[in-house]
Copies of this chain bind each other. A is one copy, B any other.
Amino acid sequence: MKIITIGREYGSGGRTIGKMVAEKLGIPYYDRELVDKAAKTSGLAVEAIEENDQIVTRSFLYDLAIGTSYGYVNSTGVPLDLNTQVFLAQREAILEFAQSPCVIVGRCADYILRDREDVLKVFIFADRKARLERIAKEYGEEASKAEKLLAQSDKRRARHYEEFTDSIWGARRNYDIMLNSATHGAEKTAEIICMLAKED
C-alpha cells in the first residue's frame, strides 16, 4: 500500500476523487486538515496559515514577517517570510503523515516526497468547459465568477508550486499518472488510482 499524492487543476474534482480513493482504501485523507496540523507543530496561528495558504504575495508577507518571531529563521537568525514558514510547517506535517499510507491533496506533496519509492504521484486535470460546469454546480458560482476563479486558482497553485520547488506545476515529469477527470468521471478515476496504489 502506498502514499498517494494528488495535484489537481481547480474545478477538476481532485478533492472529491482524493476522498473517494481514501475511502475505498480505508486510509486517511489530508487536505485542509494538513493546515491545522501544520499550525500545531509550527506554532503559527491557524488563521495566518489559512490566509496565506498557497498564496504567494512576497513583499507584503515579508514586511509582515520581519520583526515577528516564528519558528523558522534563516542562517543568520532572521525569521523567514511568513509564506515560507507556512510551507515549511506544511512540509513537516506531510513528512509526519507520510509515515503510513494516506492520500494527500495539493501542498506540493509530490515534490516533498519525491525521493520515496512508495509514493504514487497523481495529477488530475479536465478541460475548461467541464471545470467551469463543475465549479458552477459544486460551488453555486455564476458563470462569469467561475471563469475568474478558475484562472486565479490555477495561477496561484502554479506560482506556489514553482516558488517552493525547482519544477513546474503539472509537468508530466513530476507524476506517475495524469488523468482527465472529465473523460473518465470521478468514480472511474478513483478506481484507477486505487488499482495502482494496491500494486507493489
Contacts and interface: CB of A to CB of B under 8 A. Distances in A.
Contacts of A170: 172
B180 A175 contact: yes
A151 interface: no
Contact of A192 (B120, B178, B183, B192): B192
A173 interface: yes
Contacts of A188: 196, 199
The main secondary structure of chain A at its interface with chain B is mixed
B183 A176 contact: yes
Nearest to A179: B177
Interface in A147-200: 170, 172-173, 175-180, 183-184, 188, 192, 195-196, 199
Contact of A176 (B120, B175, B184, B196): B184
Contact of A172 (B120, B125, B192, B196): B125
Contacts of A33: none
A163 to B, nearest CB: 21
Given A177-B180, A178-B179, A184-B196, 11 more contacts: A120-B183, A123-B172, A170-B172, A175-B180, A176-B183, A177-B178, A177-B179, A177-B183, A184-B199, A192-B192, A192-B196
12 contacts: A120-B183, A125-B173, A127-B173, A172-B172, A175-B178, A175-B180, A176-B179, A177-B179, A178-B179, A184-B196, A188-B196, A188-B199
